[in-house]
């Protein structure tokens, strides 16, 4: 199975999660240069000199980099053995299930679940489940908030004291 990044454009809007206050594009949790990531707050607009007033892209909270027994999880390398993405209409979860084989033959099942809350409009969550299928090894998860998000190359939030979680 080949992951087609030119198909990503329609998926990120079709699987958009929104609660009336916050909206999150359905890009992958791991980052790829081909994707346009986005998280927005209703009514939060910004005007930048030379640009039209637009809905500001707020800091991205979905960055997850995974190393599975020393190998970076990347859909563009190795083999995708199975891939399924769905929205559970009952609870508003976006669920992505993947079985992936690394370039060295290590097979892993990954499940990503995320939602934005209707009950608490300021709450959103991401859950990651990782199951090694044919190996034992260390799993490294690096997650953080990217405060350098842009719309069309314009960064709407000025940099102050930035912090990023690392290993």
Which domain CATH number covers 69?
2.70.98.40
pLDDT band of residue 163 (cuts 50, 70, 90) is: very low
Q: In angstroms, rounded to a whole number, what is the distance separating the alpha carbons of residues 149 and 24?
A: 13
pLDDT at 130 over 60: yes
Q: What secondary structure letter does DSSP report for 102?
A: -
Q: What is the pTM of this model?
A: 0.79
SS3 49: coil
In a domain, 159, yes or no: no
Q: What is the DSSP letter of 166?
A: -
In a domain, 153, yes or no: no
Classify residue 161: in a domain, yes or no.
Answer: no
Kindly state whether residue 167 falls inside one of the protein's structural domains: no
- Give the residue-averaged pLDDT of 117-138: 94
Residue 165's pLDDT is 45
* DSSP state, residue 78: S
Alpha carbon distance 20, 16 (integer Å): 12
Q: Which residue has the tokens 């346009």?
A: 36
In a domain, 163, yes or no: no
Between 8 and 30, the higher pLDDT residue = 30
**CB-based contact 45:55 (threshold 8 Å):** yes
Structural domain that includes position 114: 5-146
């Amino acid at each position: 199975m080949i992951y087609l990044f030119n198909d990503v454009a329609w998926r990120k809007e079709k699987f958009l999660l929104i609660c009336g206050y916050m909206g999150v594009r359905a890009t992958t949790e791991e980052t790829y240069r081909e994707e346009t990531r986005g998280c927005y707050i209703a009514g939060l607009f910004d005007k930048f000199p030379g640009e039209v007033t637009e809905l500001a892209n707020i800091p991205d909270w979905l960055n997850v980099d995974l190393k599975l027994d020393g190998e970076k999880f990347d859909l563009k390398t190795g083999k995708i053995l199975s891939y399924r993405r769905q929205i559970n209409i009952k609870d508003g979860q976006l669920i992505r299930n993947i079985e992936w084989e690394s370039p060295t033959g290590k097979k892993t099942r990954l499940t990503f679940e995320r939602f934005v809350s209707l009950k608490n409009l300021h709450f959103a969550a991401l859950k990651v489940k990782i199951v090694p299928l044919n190996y034992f090894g260390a799993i490294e998860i690096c997650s953080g908030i990217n405060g350098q998000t842009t719309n069309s190359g314009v960064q709407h939030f000025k940099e102050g004291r930035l912090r990023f979680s690392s290993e």
